[in-house]
Amino acid sequence: MNKKWAVKRITVNLALNEASKLEKYCEQTGRAATDVIRELIRALPVTTSE
């Protein structure tokens, strides 16, 4: 299945220990860092203003 995304590219600066933790997690799970970060962003709680 070919997903079409409206893409907005961002750059994230990580401390060495944060980058290392992300890399290890990706190695252990076989997932790409982009997918892991996207999943974490989707899980963020968002409140709507009424």
Give residue-wise pLDDT tens across range 12-45: 999 999 999 999 999 999 999 999 999 999 999 9
CA atoms within 13 A on the CB side of 25: 13
Question: What six digits make up the tokens of 15?
Answer: 């401390």
pTM: 0.76
Q: Which residue, 34, 42, 50, is CA-closest to 25?
A: 34
Other CB atoms within 10 A of residue 50 CB: 3
Work out the burial of residue 36: count CB atoms within 10 Å of its CB; fewer than 13 is exposed, 13-18 middle, 19 or more buried: middle
Segments making up each domain of the chain, as ranges: 14-43
Q: Is 40 helix (H, G, I), strand (E, B) or coil?
A: helix
